[in-house]
Amino acid sequence: MTGAPGESPALVDRLRAEILAAGGAIPFARYMDLALYEPGLGYYERAARVVGRGGDFATSVSVGPMFGELLARWILDGAVSRSTELSAGPVELVEAGAHDGRLAEDILDAIGRLGGADVARFSYRIVEPSPVRQAWQAARLARFGDRIRWSPSMPGRQPGGPGVRGVILSNELLDAFPVERWRWSADRRRWVEQGVTWRQDRFEWVCLPTAPPPGWALPQELEAVLPEGFVRERSPAAVDWWANAARGLEAGCLLAIDYGLDAEEFLVPHRAEGTLRAYRRHRVSGDLLDSPGEVDLTAHVDFTAIARAGEREGLTTWGCPSQSRFLLGVLESTQRVPGGFPEWTPARVRAFQTLTHPEHFGRSFRVLVQGRGPTPWDLR
Ligand SMILES: C[S@@+](CC[C@H](N)C(=O)[O-])C[C@H]1O[C@@H](n2cnc3c(N)ncnc32)[C@H](O)[C@@H]1O
């Protein structure tokens, strides 16, 4: 497959310059990083409206405020009030991948409505490396004043020093980190990293001589039957981000909602081309290298690798249920409290169905929660 340059000439020039400087090819992860995040040029730098009905893809956040409302419910009832560490004192909510700030707005509004006397305990921080996206968020969230703050990266923490006491959360962040792409060569019996070059006015795939990372080999009996060209992605950037967030957590939990799989679920015949996809106007583009800067690039999250990273940092996995199971559990808990859930209007019924239906966000999306200490809420 090859990729046409598309409609972002400045980004194409930037990618070509990087390829030239690197001697003719760059790893796909670097291509993806530039295509999505190059300041002023990358896909996520261009416009806030790439998410939602009029954009390139929908998320649970763009379905409407109900998603933030149910998350706020879980934060109040599950993560905070039942926790021995967080049941009193300040609670910080830290969101990454906030994009245009809509989820922050929905969560803060819901906490304002549902939190009672506890509201004053909550503050919100958005971790946002991009000044452009921070400006979109600040415009949307101005009415919350100093209850909301920003950091360019996860707040650092010295060993034994204070960290986040609260919930570090994200929706569709982990799938947006750059991934390495590795292709199985049955002849050579080895994994070959895929890079990107520029040839005849197009981006093209090339094989790189990189040695496969430690632990990347599969059991010998599996490699013996793996078909030529089987592709797997790997995202050290997502794993490092999670490990760093885990180190920053003093009390409470890390919660990530995303589409993804357990490690062994990647190794099935219908995923032989990997899970990396390019999206434009709600459709999958056939060519991953077509139109950099104009398409979203994303791959399924390896929940096994992410969960292991958190456990290495001393966190306990509280659960990784489907979004449907998670939200139904939250809904059930609201039914036990009189007035715990606003009335079902037709629009709210539709939103809940979209968030939980197996063919929408219900099954392929999962909610990974890891915390310091035992789970205060049954997430199995
Ligand atoms: C798929 S969008 C999801 C947006 C929003 N959370 C939603 O669900 O509608 C991914 C977002 O994560 C952001 N992102 C990627 N890497 C990030 C990082 N290291 N820190 C903070 N945000 C990041 C992207 O810029 C983009 O806005």
Q: What is the 3-state secondary structure (H, E, C) of 105-173?
A: HHHHHHHHHHCHHHHHHEEEEEECCCHHHHHHHHHHHHHHHHHEEEECCCCCCCCCCCCEEEEEEEECC
Q: Tell me, yes or no, whether 376 lies in a domain.
A: no
pLDDT score of 340 more than 80: no
SS3 193: strand
Q: Tell me, yes or no, whether 340 lies in a domain.
A: yes
**Residue 141 identity (one-letter amino acid):** L
Task: Work out the percent of the chain whose per-residue pLDDT is above 90.
Answer: 79
- Mean pLDDT across 246-266: 96
> Which region, left, alpha or beta, applies to residue 273 given φ > 0 means left and ψ of -120 to 50 means alpha?
alpha
Give yes or no for a contact between 88 and 376, defined as CB atoms under 8 angstroms apart: no
The answer, yes or no, to whether any atom of ligand 1 lies below 6 A from the CB of 96, is yes
For the CA of 57, the closest atom of ligand 1 is 1
The answer, yes or no, to whether any atom of ligand 1 lies below 6 A from the CB of 97, is yes
Q: Tell me, yes or no, whether 379 lies in a domain.
A: no
Q: Tell me, yes or no, whether 285 lies in a domain.
A: yes
Q: Predicted confidence band at 341 (pLDDT cuts at 50, 70, 90)?
A: confident
Q: DSSP strand E in the chain: where?
A: 2-3, 26-27, 91-96, 122-127, 148-151, 164-171, 180-185, 190-199, 202-207, 231-234, 249-261, 277-280, 283-285, 296-298, 301-302, 316-319, 365-371
Residue 343: CB partners within 8 Å, gap ≥ 6?
Answer: none
Residue at token pair 């968020």: 137
Tokens representing 104? 């922050």
Tokens representing 183? 């292709």
Mutate which of 133, 150, 173 to test ligand 1's pocket (most atoms within 8 Å of Cβ)? 173
Distance of alpha carbon 106 from alpha carbon 103, whole angstroms: 5
What pLDDT sits at residue 2? 46
What pLDDT sits at residue 5? 54
Q: Tell me, yes or no, whether 106 lies in a domain.
A: yes
Q: How many CA atoms lie within 13 A of 125 on its CB side?
A: 18
Give yes or no for a contact between 370 and 315, defined as CB atoms under 8 angstroms apart: yes
Give yes or no for a contact between 269 and 184, defined as CB atoms under 8 angstroms apart: no
The answer, yes or no, to whether any atom of ligand 1 lies below 6 A from the CB of 128, is yes
**Residue 84 identity (one-letter amino acid):** T
Give yes or no for a contact between 93 and 122, defined as CB atoms under 8 angstroms apart: yes
For the CA of 36, the closest atom of ligand 1 is 25
Residue 52 Cα to ligand 1 middle (Å)? 14
Q: Which of 38-52, 268-282, 301-315 has the highest mean pLDDT?
A: 301-315
Q: Tell me, yes or no, whether 380 lies in a domain.
A: no
Q: Tell me, yes or no, whether 34 lies in a domain.
A: yes
Q: What is the largest distance, in Å, between two alpha-carbon atoms of the chain? A: 67
For the CA of 170, the closest atom of ligand 1 is 6
For the CA of 298, the closest atom of ligand 1 is 1
CATH number for the domain including 115? Answer: 3.40.50.12710
The answer, yes or no, to whether any atom of ligand 1 lies below 6 A from the CB of 56, is no
For the CA of 44, the closest atom of ligand 1 is 25
The answer, yes or no, to whether any atom of ligand 1 lies below 6 A from the CB of 134, is no
The answer, yes or no, to whether any atom of ligand 1 lies below 6 A from the CB of 369, is no
Mutate which of 41, 59, 99 to test ligand 1's pocket (most atoms within 8 Å of Cβ)? 99
SS3 82: coil
Domain interval for residue 286: 2-371
* Nearest alpha carbon to residue 232 among 257, 215, 255: 215
Tokens representing 140? 């949307």
How many H-runs (helices) and E-runs (strands) does the chain carry?
Answer: 12, 17
Q: Model confidence over 279-334: pLDDT tens digits? A: 988 889 889 999 999 999 999 999 999 999 999 999 999 999 999 999 999 999 88
For the CA of 52, the closest atom of ligand 1 is 9
Q: Predicted confidence band at 118 (pLDDT cuts at 50, 70, 90)?
A: confident
Ligand 1 atom 22 nearest Cα: 97
Q: Model confidence over 3-20: pLDDT tens digits? A: 555 578 999 999 999 999
pLDDT score of 1 more than 70: no
Q: Tell me, yes or no, whether 19 lies in a domain.
A: yes
Residue 165 Cα to ligand 1 middle (Å)? 22
Helices 323-335 and 66-73, packing angle to 10 deg: 70
Count of domains observed in the chain:
1
Residue 290 Cα to ligand 1 middle (Å)? 21
Task: Work out the percent of the chain whose per-residue pLDDT is above 70.
Answer: 98
Q: Predicted confidence band at 136 (pLDDT cuts at 50, 70, 90)?
A: very high
Which residues are paired to 371 by β-bridges?
253, 316
